[in-house]
Amino acid sequence: MRERFVRDESGFTLPELLVTMLMMLTVFFALHSIFDMGIRVFSFGNDKTEATENARLGLERMERELRAAYPYDKAAGNTTIIASGTPNEVTFGNDLNGDRVVNSDEVITYRRSVGDPTILQRENNGQTQPLAGFVRGLTFEYVDPSGNAVAASGANRVRVSLAVEVDRGINQPVTQKLTTDVALENRSN
């Protein structure tokens, strides 16, 4: 019996090889699909996390600077803190040199970029700095201590809402909305 196995050198037939190759290709394509979907899901989650974190950091910077906003000429009795405020942008000053007057190089504006509205930008002294991408919406609401909407010049708090949206073509776009209330600490009335 052992001699029969040693002498039998017929090998595999062509149909057997073709069936085996077809089965291997099917398994490889299935594994490739699983791997590809895993990479896309990871990439989407990573993009969403990065966009949300960038928006959060931009919002925190805006919150810090708004909280420290300073009256334009406190020494002369001008207690205006918000120079101009609309639902889409806010302009205010920070007294950085301690002279109790907001100079032109100490004026800061936050808004969505005119050229690319998906970017949150900060303007100061003629320079524009992008803070966050994937911006879907940015709104400012000016309120009094009771929470009632008022004109920007009479506001004690600013409610800032920033929405970011990530759309990588997988399922539906994911939107994250971040909102914060900022008390204007240098408000004297």
pLDDT, tens digit, 9 for 90 and up, residues 16-56 = 889 999 999 999 999 999 988 888 777 777 777 877 887 88
Number of H helices, E strands in the chain: 2, 8
Cα(169)–Cα(186) distance, rounded to whole angstroms? 46
Q: What is the DSSP letter of 92?
A: E
In this predicted model, what pLDDT tens digit does every residue of 165-188 receive, in sequence order? Answer: 877 666 677 778 889 999 887 765
Residue pair 51/59 in contact (Cβ under 8 Å)? The answer is: no
Write phi, then psi, for 187 (nearest 5 degrees).
Answer: -75, 125
User: Is 75 in contact with 69 (CB distance < 8 Å)?
Assistant: no
> Hey, CA dihedral for 47, 53, 54, 55, is it positive or negative?
positive
Amino acid, single-letter form, for residue 122:
R
Angle, CA of 147, 85 and 139, to the nearest 5°: 70
- pLDDT for the residue numbered 121: 93
- The pair of structure tokens assigned to 23 is 């089965």
Which residues, including other chains, have CB under 8 Å from residue 52's CB and lie 6 or more apart? Answer: 164, 176, 178
> Mean pLDDT score of the chain, rounded to an integer?
84
pLDDT in tens, 95-116: 888 787 888 888 899 999 988 9
Tokens matching residue 171: 């399922």
* Separation between Cα atoms, residue 74 and residue 186, nearest integer Å: 10
Please state, in angstroms and rounded to a whole number, the distance separating the CA atoms of residues 88 and 110: 9
Sequence-separated (6 or more) residues with CB below 8 Å from residue 105: 124, 125
Prediction pTM value: 0.72
Flag whether pLDDT at 77 surpasses 80.
no
